[in-house]
Chains A and B, each alone.
Chain A
């Protein structure tokens, strides 16, 4: 009768439930992240993915100066003023404009070739060149689409000419064709480093503290710096191993071109190291005084959403509202994604990513100071 596999008693079941519910009751503060998490998801994801793009920097190279070119220019200016979609700059020289595009100063270069107006006036279709930074495909697609709409109603005003003339928008991918998967690689690497920081910098740290491992350390001559330094070293070693495995896998799976060769690889490793250090020390700072092992686990989701999604890893930062841009600018994830995208997809050199690396190093340094100050050497 009793003790069988399918034997049960409601009272026993309720007792099991009671035990768990009582634990929740004793740890009520931990419910805050659980309630907050979906709200944070809604607010951050809602704004970080899919919002309207605006202020996309576009260079306009007018080699024609004819009446239709002026018309197109006016239409783009109207679009800029009405919807803030573009920030239009006139560039006299095409080569210079493309160089600026490669540096990341522009998202697209729009070219009206020398005989643009004349061709259209003859009643022939004329090409409007749209050269896009296709390492950011979302922006590139939006710009291409908007260009098509902008020129759809353009009519040459010469008398006796047929009213329907096509302007042929020709998209030029400045970096060759890029798969969406390649676009995702920097974000995936950043995510892997976040997981390592969460595990080694958060969960293991607090578990060891709760288990009395730290108490064991504190009675030895180890100093606070010894501890923070040692823990950072082990966590960042793990971060580099995991990061490198993900990077190499991504090179194979997403067929990254690795234009810069070994230099690209080493600079990518450096970016990963700086991001890893920053995230690990950020986690140490956050968990410096936490002794409840459930806390880092409860915060995991929120921290992930708050740091990762506003990084531009999945959707261009140009779409973010101001507050989200500010949040995005505070965490190193954004700079890592930017640097890794430039390195892995464009094959840029050190100079192009130096500002990103500097910000990440600065963040890590600030967190190191905070972690060392907050980390208590006594119980």
Chain B
């Protein structure tokens, strides 16, 4: 085992000192990690953290500024053609051709990979079945729902039996039910074969459910790497207590709660719920109810929570994922201007 918890040799993805700069701006800064074959590896981070740039380098779309990356032992900067044969990619943008049917899309992509007629037909049928679009195969994709288009993209990305599959925010913009369908699909795919999946997301629940291991990336650097459990356990003051009051409460109460023993930090979950991060397993129940009474509010309920990846993220980056969402604009613009 190496320091990042993986073994050498059988790695599907090897990233070594990988760096990408756009002028003065460093999008990815000295990234190092490995993904084993058959693993689902998550890259978790806010918009603009450098996730898409990392994926694009691994997909041969952007040459690295320095460092190197190997896909199935092939250098993404040197063996580009060979790498492209090994990878399937679901880009962040919806790139399904609305005018084409699912069948046509799959057939055309299969031709890009030089697949023969019978092989194309067989593979397309198999994939349409596994993504649940058989009945829609001859309908234009423009008539599909967002979730169906994503499933079609997943089928399209797998048409040539790639060994490493990249998904850039596969469920962004989808309704909860469609997201669950995509998750189940990815789990089945992983179970079915030796497919390695690298998944970028900014959804904690998605990362938690799907990923064997994940890297939290922020401002172009990996700030934490491990299994979801390891990461959650690495957060000091593991437990969180949500205290719901009968009424909205003031900032004075929040400050007062912070001062109680065994409470490391306190924040506002919503106008009448406080989120307390505990530094010990002993919960100061008495103190909390007393403190509430002093501030003229009544405690309605208290819920002890396990830390989530959101807490892990806040711990490692100092802010919540959603707080960083508006960074997207400043990073998206230069790409369009180029």
Contacts and interface: CB of A to CB of B under 8 A. Distances in A.
Interface stretch (B82-90, B210-218, B277-285, B314-322): B82-90
B84 A219 contact: yes
B264 to A, nearest CB: 44
A218 B113 CA distance: 12
A378 B93 contact: no
Nearest to B84: A221
A114 B91 CA distance: 83
Nearest to A291: B336
B114 interface: yes
Given A211-B93, A215-B95, A216-B91, A221 B336 contact: no
A222 to B, nearest CB: 5
Given A219-B84, A220-B109, A220-B113, A379 B93 contact: no
Contacts of B93: 211-212, 215
Of A211, A212, A219, most buried by chain B (CB within 10 Å of CB) is A219
A27 to B, nearest CB: 10
A221 B112 CA distance: 7
A213 interface: yes
B226 to A, nearest CB: 29
A221 B61 contact: no
B336 A219 contact: no
Contacts of B109: 220
The main secondary structure of chain A at its interface with chain B is loop
A220 B335 CA distance: 21
B81 A221 contact: yes
A191 B113 CA distance: 38
A159 B87 CA distance: 101
B63 to A, nearest CB: 7
A212 B63 contact: no
A170 interface: no
Interface string B186-229: 00000000000000000000000000000000000000000000
Contacts of A87: none
Given A211-B93, A212-B91, A291 B112 contact: no
Contacts of B85: 221
A212 B92 CA distance: 9
A138 interface: no
Of A211, A212, A216, A217, most buried by chain B (CB within 10 Å of CB) is A216
Contact of B63 (A213, A215, A217, A378): A378
A292 B336 contact: yes
A216 B88 CA distance: 10
Contact of A379 (B61, B81, B92, B94): B61
B23 to A, nearest CB: 15
Given A213-B97, A216-B95, A221-B113, 20 more contacts: A212-B91, A212-B94, A215-B61, A215-B95, A217-B112, A218-B60, A218-B61, A219-B61, A219-B84, A219-B87, A219-B89, A220-B84, A220-B112, A220-B113, A221-B85, A221-B114, A222-B112, A291-B338, A292-B336, A379-B56
Interface of A: 211-213, 215-222, 291-292, 378-379
Interface of B: 56, 59-63, 81, 84-85, 87, 89, 91-95, 97, 109, 112-114, 335-336, 338
Q: Which 4 pairs between the two chains have the least Cβ-Cβ distance?
A: A212-B93, A219-B89, A220-B112, A216-B95
8 contacts: A211-B93, A215-B91, A216-B91, A216-B95, A218-B61, A219-B61, A220-B112, A221-B114
